[in-house]
Amino acid sequence: MLLFAYIYPRGVNSMKMFCIVKSHLIYYILLILLMVSSTYAFEEKNGNKLANKVIVVDAGHGGIDSGATRPGVDEKDINLAVALQLKNILNQKGAKVIMSRQTDMELSNECDNEKVRGRYHRDLMARVEMVEESDADLFVSLHANAVRNDKKRGAEVFYYNKSETGKILANLIQAELYSVAGRSHSAQNANYFVLRRNKIPAVLIELGYITNTEERQLLLAPDYQQKLARAIAEGICKFY
């Protein structure tokens, strides 16, 4: 009542009041439409950077290849758990994600190149072929580390030294992982097969050290796995 009394003082005839009401309604409708369109434009610009991007997420090892091990812990399982988390997050951000594997399997039988010999080499080649066949924009391979020094810990990101875009991507992801793992490793160049054979930006991520007792327990925890996946996804978003 006070609002109407303020807008429509005494003595204003009904026709004039109708025009005032109409003009106010049009003003507020236009204001609402402007706010909605601005919000949509912001989300399009900032929330869907990965729309239509094809990203291969590679869970390292699998099947008879366990990767690094400790009693009751296989690297391949950690890799897959984080890869599945990463897939969900990237999908939510609009990316199309191709998984090298979604179950505990090795990929040597998926290799199409008959000239490649040996289970190990055929497994690696199959992962590269997935990139070529899918016309992917980005390749991310997930692993967990193991060394004799059980004090060493932290996530590390690797790129091929002849790939400038790979280096940029690696540094962006490394910066995001620092906020999770809390260790100031720098992105490093490496000559890994899946990096040097890829023609697109590619990184290999060591999520942490299963040889460090504390970090091993973190790597097995679903909430920590999700934090790692979110950090990786954020680094990918900043790349674009």
Which of the residues in the chain have pLDDT under 70? 1-25, 27-28, 31, 33-47, 184
At 54 the pLDDT is: 98
CB within 8 A of 87, min separation 6: which ones? 57, 97, 99
What pTM does this model have? 0.81
State how far the Cα of 170 lies from the Cα of 188, in Å rounded to an integer.
Answer: 8
Alpha-carbon span 216 to 234, nearest angstrom: 23
**C-alpha torsion sign, points 145, 150, 154, 156:** negative
CA dist 228 → 56, 131, 175, 188 (Å): 17, 23, 12, 18
**What is the Cα–Cα distance from 172 to 164, expressed in whole angstroms?**
13
Neighbours of 132 (CB within 10 A): 13
Cβ atoms 190, 158 nearer than 8 A: yes
Q: Which amino acid is at 110?
A: E
Q: If one looks up domain 54-239 in CATH, what number appears?
A: 3.40.630.40
Q: Is the dihedral of CA 220, 206, 177, 133 positive or negative?
A: negative
Q: How many CA atoms lie within 13 A of 86 on its CB side?
A: 34
User: 3-state DSSP call for residue 49?
Assistant: coil
pLDDT at 153: 95
User: What would the pLDDT profile of 172-184 be if each residue is shown by its tens digit?
Assistant: 999 999 999 887 6
